Structure formats: C-alpha cells, structure tokens
C-alpha cells in the first residue's frame, strides 16, 4: 500500500537551531518524493522534490531508498520557516499525490 508517514505533529525549535522533519514512505516501485509547505494564510506550495537535488530556502532532503525515508533538513532554522510541512509521494506513471499528515514547525526567536 502507498503510504507517507510523518511521525511528528509538532516540532518546536529556537532560531538558529538545526531542524529535521521526518518522512517515511511505503511504495511498491520507484516513487517520486516531494515536500510541500503551507505558510500561514497562504496556499500550499512546492518546497522541493528529490529528483531536483536542490536546496530551497536552505532546506535539503535526501531520498534514502534503503530506509524508505525522505527527511527534510535545515542547519539553522529561521522564524520565517514556521509553517506546516507535508511530505508527499507519487508514482512515476501517475500524478496522484499521496500526502502525509503534516508536521507543524514552530521556530521561536
């Protein structure tokens, strides 16, 4: 079964601290993994995708097929990073996005 698991509902850190938002998945085949972010009063938007291997707003995520994980990391959190983060996956032959339950990141000054 296709599933995305985000074990933390809430993650609170102080500004400047490292951040790691966990994401594990189950999928029979080769999935595409994404991180979407929803800032307060804004629409959901793409943060990054594993295929791009890029760093966006200081965030990176590495796909670990052995551990079926796609954790989102940032070495130094900023207050503007406070938002709801969703991990999502889709199959190569489909556009269906399966979302995790989301993790709310709070960055305190």
Q: Which residues bind other proteins (CB under 8 A)?
A: 6, 9, 32, 36, 43-46, 49, 51, 86, 90, 92-102
Shortest distance (Å) from residue 75 CB to other proteins? 25
Residue closer to other proteins, measured from CB, 31 or 74: 31
User: 99 and 89 in contact (C-beta within 8 Å)?
Assistant: no
Q: How far is the CB of 65 from other proteins (least distance, A)?
A: 17
Measured from the CB atom, the residue of 23 and 107 that comes closer to other proteins is 23
Residues, the chain: 109
Closest CA to 103 of 87, 92, 91: 87
Q: Number of helices (H) and strands (E) in the chain: give both, helices first.
A: 0, 11
Query: Closest CB to other proteins among 68 and 78?
Result: 68
Nearer to other proteins, 17 or 44 (CB): 44
């995790």: which residue's tokens? 100
In the complex, minimum distance from the CB of residue 38 to other proteins, in angstroms, rounded to a whole number: 9
Distance from C-alpha of 30 to C-alpha of 91, rounded to nearest angstrom: 7
Q: How far apart are CA 64 and CA 49, in angstroms?
A: 13
- Shortest Å distance, C-beta 90 to other proteins: 5
């Amino acid at each position: 079964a296709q599933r995305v698991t985000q074990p933390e509902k809430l993650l609170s850190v102080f500004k400047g601290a490292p951040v790691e938002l966990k994401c594990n998945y189950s999928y029979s085949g080769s999935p595409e993994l994404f991180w979407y972010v929803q800032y307060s009063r804004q629409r959901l938007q793409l943060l990054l995708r594993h295929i791009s291997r890029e760093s966006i707003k200081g965030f990176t995520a590495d796909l670990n097929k052995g551990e079926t994980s796609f954790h989102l990391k940032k070495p130094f959190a900023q207050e503007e990073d406070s938002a709801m983060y969703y991990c999502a996956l889709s199959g190569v032959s489909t556009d269906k996005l399966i979302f995790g339950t989301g993790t709310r990141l709070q960055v305190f000054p």
